[in-house]
Amino acid sequence: MPDRVRYGLYLPPFGPLGDPAALVDLAVRAEAAGWDGVFLWDHVVPAMPPIADTWTVLAAIAQATGKVLLGPMVTPPSRRRPWLLARQAATLARLSRGRLLLGTGIGSDETGDFSRFGDPSSPAELSPRTDEAMEIVRAMWAGGGSSARGAALPGEPGRCRSGAVSHSGVDSLHDPA
């Protein structure tokens, strides 16, 4: 990658930008104007309605653009099933021809993204769940399986086989340290 500062848009897919078509149009315009990336917040509960699904909009952006990097900034793996996240990210990486940057973190409960649904919401609970989820995601990308039950992430015991999941073209920004 070139040694230069890169510039990207960091957009909330809700409120005035809650229309998926508006976000896709903005991404196309950003690419035409020379921006390097378009990234969407990943929330379940909007600060203001309406809200668009981050992953669905990113897929539409991937098809409408050809150069900009894209991804969620950030998606909390502790709020998602890791085997689904692995498949979604791998699919979006293929759809975007390798332009996905998967930003992950513990997330925030400011608008009730966790607590409104009865999920753990404190950083002390979210941090180990996030690390464990990313271990499962990485194992699936590597072509192996991973136990679906760990110390922090509830689930049924067993093996998660990756099947068609590939990490080709996915750059992950998760740092467990």
Each residue's pLDDT, cut to its tens digit, for the chain (177 residues) gives 568 899 999 999 999 999 999 999 999 999 999 999 999 999 999 889 999 999 999 999 999 999 999 999 999 998 889 999 999 999 999 999 999 999 999 999 999 999 999 999 999 999 999 999 999 999 988 887 665 556 666 554 334 444 444 455 565 555 454
Q: Are 71 and 102 in contact (CB under 8 A)?
A: yes
Give the pLDDT score at 151: 60
Give the pLDDT score at 154: 59
Q: Which residues of 125-163 are buried (b: 16+ CB within 10 A; e: fewer)?
A: ebebbbbbbbbbbbbbbeeeebbbebebbeeeeeebebe
Q: CATH classification of 8-172, choosing from 3.50.50.60, 3.40.50.880, 3.30.70.980, 3.20.20.30?
A: 3.20.20.30
Give the pLDDT score at 143: 83
Give the pLDDT score at 17: 96
Q: What is the pTM of this model?
A: 0.85
Examine residue 176 and say whether the peptide bond preceding it is cis (omega within 30 degrees of 0): no
State how far the Cα of 75 lies from the Cα of 40, in Å rounded to an integer: 9
State how far the Cα of 5 lies from the Cα of 36, in Å rounded to an integer: 10
State how far the Cα of 121 lies from the Cα of 132, in Å rounded to an integer: 16
